[in-house]
Chains A and B, each alone.
Chain A
Amino acid sequence: MLLADRCPIFSYCADPDTLEGLTWLSCYMTTGKHLAFYTSFGTVLLLLAITAPLALSFGFFAAMGSRAHLPPVRWLANLYMAVVRGVPDIAFFLFFVIALDQGFEWMRHQVLCPDWDQPIRQGNDFIVCQAAKLPQNSAPELVHQIYGFGLAVLTFAIVFGAFAGNVLAGAFKAVPHGQIETAEAYGMTHRQAFWRIMVPQMWTYALPGLSNLWMVLIKATPLLFLLGVEDVVYWAKELGGTKTARFTDYPHGDWRMWYFAGLLIFYLLFTKLSEVVLSRITRRLSHGQATAAGEALRKAGAGA
């Protein structure tokens, strides 16, 4: 992403050499590259917005699978949760980005080039036919970026899906057995009892675990940098580095420390905000539940 160094926003920024103090700073903070830096915060939020529901659905399927009557389904779901959670997570990130990429290319290769006779792995190379390459060499830069981001989202969803699956499986187990017995006494089928009784009640037990997972997910977003996405860490490193007058209108020394201090504050505020919101949701979901928290709310309500 190449953007002009000159500032398009304020007219007085035309000649940065003459500026001083706050005016200089206001011009510096609105250069094209800085605008890209601010956009990358949007990338982080976008990643969270897509990954959270996706990981939750992965987790939901895994938790459902771990309760399935069919043993192979159960084994598969438990294996998925055990393997992903048993391996250092960062290694998983680095692994999945390459593995998924190769997996997609291999599948396309099988479909698009059926009469290819050479082996795909030749020594240290992974060779598929030109048509199977993802994304195509001729594709515009934006497609490459979107593909990279998509891989990152999928990787995050797979890893966090396993964690969410574990939380949800525990929550299903925590729903009192009497509830299911009552549902059966009312003549509900297994499926009805699951969707109408288990699933609505499960959330209150899952919420503490899911809140924790959300915090962990927020704190995992800088790892996007390792997956090759131009995220906040990339830009902080890029913008903070020493700039000489030859290449920019805004020369400065090594400011990376301050940029990363900014990121630190961003994440602190973000996790603090999440904590406040999540504790409110927890309170709401405890209403009318057969738990200690629900009981406390009921008593408080009765007293008022």
Chain B
Amino acid sequence: MSCTDTISSYAFRSIGLGERRLPTTDITVCDQVTLIGSGMLWNIYFGILAIIFGFFAAQAVALAKASPNKAVRKPAEWFIFLFRGSPLFIQFFFGYFLFLSLKRAFPVFDSFTDAWLGAAIVLWLNTTAYSAEIFFGALMAVPKGDLESADAYGFSGFPRFRRIVWPTMLRLAWPAYTNEAIFIFHSTTLVFFSGFPALQQKGDALYYASYFADKTFNPFIPYPILAGYFVLVTLCIITVFGLIGKRLNRHLPQAKRRSKRPRLMAQMFR
């Protein structure tokens, strides 16, 4: 089978299109590159979903944590502690079995045990907690002078938040938030190793990489391919977030802009 054939039959294997049988003998580098790349679709799907929904939820939780009202603040603090204090791996397992139990009781939860929904929810809540902590820190770091100026100009209530506090908070949080986006993207590799089944071998990039490592008993080809894909996507995230960050900082003098840049290699476990 030539490489173009391989690409046409396996490029969308991870979402169930094309050839069903995975290669078992005579595995070529082309097979590995194509299938691992196909699995990346899942990582990108989970990553984008978690980042988009997490961005909004995190700001709500951060504001709740900054609230003077105890009834609002405490739940936010507990939520952040729960998701930041425990491993994401265990959260995935717990989430999966929780959904499984719910599914037995209520048929509404039928699709929650599938990775596309269940794992996405766990990832979303997880990134919400981590990002909320980042946004909370930024909220606390909004310069006093900015707030005093806002008062002097007669801003109050929501307009004060919308026009003064919120843009500054985003600006301050952006470098750390970029790292968070990279983290959560790397965390998506855990999904299919933690309870959520890869139905009909429709898995993510790491799923296929470990499949090939098991089949060929040679880890030195699939994992570097996987690493290459991840470096590529990380660079994309840095570019996109860098552009947004530039826009957030556009009113500042040039010299100040350059100081805080997100680092390429900052990711860690959850």
Could you say which residues of chain B place their CB within 8 Å of the CB of A218? Answer: 87
- Whether A99 contacts B91 in the complex (CB less than 8 A), given A87-B227, A87-B230, A226-B193, comes out as no
What band does the interface of chain A fall in when counting residues whose beta carbon is under 8 Å from B?
A: 35 or more
- Asked if A88 contacts B230 (CB within 8 A), the reply is yes
- Asked if B90 contacts A220 (CB within 8 A), the reply is no
Interface-lining segment among B144-152, B163-171, B208-216 = B208-216
- Identify which of residues 78-132 in chain B touch chain A, using a CB-to-CB cut-off of 8 Å: 81-82, 85-91, 93-94, 97-98, 100-101
A135 within 8 A of B: no
- Asked if A98 contacts B230 (CB within 8 A), the reply is no
- Asked if B268 contacts A267 (CB within 8 A), the reply is no
- Asked if B193 contacts A267 (CB within 8 A), the reply is no
A298 within 8 A of B: no
B265 within 8 A of A: yes
Residue of B nearest to A159 (CB): B269
Could you say which residues of chain A place their CB within 8 Å of the CB of B267? Answer: 85, 88-89
Could you say which residues of chain A place their CB within 8 Å of the CB of B186? Answer: 88-90
- Whether A219 contacts B217 in the complex (CB less than 8 A), given A90-B206, A226-B193, comes out as no
Contact of A124 among B189, B190, B216, B269 (CB under 8 A): B216
- Asked if B101 contacts A257 (CB within 8 A), the reply is yes
B91 to chain A, nearest CB (A): 7
- Asked if A233 contacts B268 (CB within 8 A), the reply is no
A251 to chain B, nearest CB (A): 17
Residue of B nearest to A220 (CB): B269
Could you say which residues of chain A place their CB within 8 Å of the CB of B193? Answer: 90, 226
Inter-chain contact count A-B, CB under 8 Å?
124
- Asked if A98 contacts B213 (CB within 8 A), the reply is yes
Residue of A nearest to B93 (CB): A260
Contact of A91 among B86, B89, B209, B264 (CB under 8 A): B209
Docked complex Cα distance between A55 and B6 (Å): 42
- Asked if B216 contacts A91 (CB within 8 A), the reply is no
Docked complex Cα distance between A286 and B121 (Å): 41
Docked complex Cα distance between A240 and B88 (Å): 19
- Asked if B217 contacts A125 (CB within 8 A), the reply is yes
- Whether A94 contacts B87 in the complex (CB less than 8 A), given A88-B230, A124-B25, comes out as no
- Asked if B85 contacts A268 (CB within 8 A), the reply is yes
- Identify which of residues 41-91 in chain B touch chain A, using a CB-to-CB cut-off of 8 Å: 81-82, 85-91
- Identify which of residues 207-226 in chain A touch chain B, using a CB-to-CB cut-off of 8 Å: 216, 218-223, 225-226
- Identify which of residues 168-197 in chain A touch chain B, using a CB-to-CB cut-off of 8 Å: none
Docked complex Cα distance between A216 and B84 (Å): 10
Residue of B nearest to A237 (CB): B93
Which of A87, A225, A240 has the most chain B CB atoms inside 10 A of its CB?
A: A87
- Asked if A86 contacts B97 (CB within 8 A), the reply is no
> Could you mark each residue 151-173 of chain B with 1 if its beta carbon is under 8 Å from any beta carbon of chain A, else 0?
00000000000000000000000
- Whether A88 contacts B215 in the complex (CB less than 8 A), given A240-B97, A264-B90, comes out as no
Complex A-B: 22 CB contacts under 8 Å:
A85-B267, A86-B227, A86-B231, A87-B226, A88-B186, A88-B189, A88-B206, A89-B268, A90-B190, A90-B206, A91-B209, A102-B219, A124-B25, A124-B215, A219-B87, A219-B270, A240-B97, A254-B97, A263-B94, A267-B87, A271-B85, A272-B85
